[in-house]
Amino acid sequence: MQNITGTITEEHIRASLLSAVEDKVRRTLREQISAWKAELDTLEKIHLELDQGKNRLSLLTKRLESEQTEWEKVLSTLKDKDAELDVALAKAKNQGEIDVDEAVVTTAPLYNQ
């Protein structure tokens, strides 16, 4: 059952409407796909930046661990030297007063003056 309206038939109108709807759906899908692609590109860039940041943090962590080990060695040496100093001070206190003239031995009598 086709009604003829001039030279345009219902079938022509129907085909035209289907074509218009199809074009609209395609445009909408292209826009949506473009938006998703842009978002995916952004997420990939962020992922790359996060990986680079992770690598930098890993290097910094290793460097800090190395420095911590070095400082622990220095601290241990300092504690050892502090203990040696305490022992030397204790010995010096136990010896009593030291006569300055006897503490220094010179090579010539003239230097005693």
Any idea where the domains of the chain sit in the sequence? 9-84
47-65 pLDDT, tens digit each? 999 999 999 999 999 999 9
> Alpha-carbon distance 108 to 103, whole Å?
15
7 secondary structure, DSSP code: T
12-34 per-residue burial string, b: 16 or more CB within 10 A, e: under 16: eeeeeeeeeeeeeeeeeeeeeee
Taking the C-alpha atoms of residue 39 and residue 32, their distance in angstroms, rounded to an integer, is 11
Cα 9 to chain centroid distance, Å, stands at 70
Distance CA 13, CA 5 (A): 10
> Which tens digit of pLDDT belongs to each residue from 75-100?
999 999 999 999 988 888 887 777 66
Q: What is the DSSP letter of 4?
A: E
Query: Higher-confidence residue: 3 or 22?
Result: 22
Q: What is the total residue count of the chain?
A: 113
Contact 112, 100 (CB under 8 A): no
